[in-house]
Chains A and B, each alone.
Chain A
């Protein structure tokens, strides 16, 4: 399937793209646009104004995806806590990891294009998912 979002991805869009590839559509193809007018008709848009899979009632787009596709994996919701705070910084969750992720992603977006950004952040989110999964199972941070 084809998915579309705004150019110059930051944490919310990078995390959504990872979620799509890993949990919804392994064959996903991503298109980046500057303006909603340029959206290809066959693509599902996300994290853009006025589309369903976007910010919604204080949720970031990653959380909207989890609700919309009924992904109730607690590890994904734990990742959502970090994505939400790195994106919105509104103190809804306690996420001390968020400022670090925010800086890492913003820095990366300065030196690589969107395709490369998604390539590089995929393994990063894989690792975050694994780390938080073990942390939730152990009840403490893994060594």
Chain B
């Protein structure tokens, strides 16, 4: 868990820090308080960001924390799963819509969706059902391309 405060101005480091936290898939507990499931990588990532917050003139502390109530822990995990589920849904929708495109554009879309899917999987700590749907839609797009365009 990272407790942090970045000065409002200048806004560039503030935004850069926020983007990095978002990419890690943090759960926002409160304003200035974010959490990730504990492992050596997530801990290290938060520590590096904490250093950047300090370098930007802010305050930051990293905590190894435990939610005291099981139901609140579940609620937090559910919220993280829901956020990631909507990202998977966007991939699935785009992959399904790509079936209508011309072959060259489909191939390009496939490459991009695969990269995005890989990225989302990296910050997916509580895989929702939508993950399979997105993976299936991307696999379907790849299969259709392999059939349609002989190499």
- Give the dominant DSSP class at B's interface: helix
| Chain A residue contacts of B16, Cβ below 8 A | 58
Task: Mark interface residues in A51-62 (1 if CB within 8 Å of B CB, else 0).
Answer: 000111110000
Contacts A49-B51, A55-B48, A55-B51 hold; do A90 and B40 have CB atoms under 8 A apart?
no
Alpha-carbon separation in the docked complex, A8 to B119 (Å): 24
Q: Is the CB of A90 within 8 A of B20?
A: yes
Does any Cβ of A come within 8 Å of B29's Cβ? Answer: no
Interface residue count on the B side (C-beta < 8 Å): 13
List residues of B (39-88) whose CB comes within 8 Å of A's CBs.
40, 47-48, 50-52, 55
Binding site for A on B (CB under 8 A): 16, 20, 23, 40, 47-48, 50-52, 55, 118-119, 122
Q: Is the CB of B40 within 8 A of A50?
A: no
Alpha-carbon separation in the docked complex, A78 to B32 (Å): 36
Contacts A49-B47, A58-B16 hold; do A89 and B122 have CB atoms under 8 A apart?
yes
| Chain B residue contacts of A90, Cβ below 8 A | 20, 23
Task: Mark interface residues in A64-97 (1 if CB within 8 Å of B CB, else 0).
Answer: 0000000000000000000000000110000000
Interface residues on A, range: 10 to 19
Does any Cβ of B come within 8 Å of A40's Cβ? Answer: no
Does any Cβ of B come within 8 Å of A99's Cβ? Answer: yes
Smallest CB–CB gap between A47 and chain B, Å?
Answer: 10
| Chain A residue contacts of B51, Cβ below 8 A | 49-50, 54-55
List residues of A (81-123) whose CB comes within 8 Å of B's CBs.
89-90, 99
Q: Is the CB of B55 within 8 A of A57?
A: yes
Alpha-carbon separation in the docked complex, A49 to B40 (Å): 14
Smallest CB–CB gap between B77 and chain A, Å?
Answer: 23
Contacts A8-B40, A90-B23, A99-B118 hold; do A57 and B47 have CB atoms under 8 A apart?
no
6 A-B residue pairs with CB within 8 Å = A50-B51, A55-B48, A56-B55, A58-B16, A58-B52, A89-B23
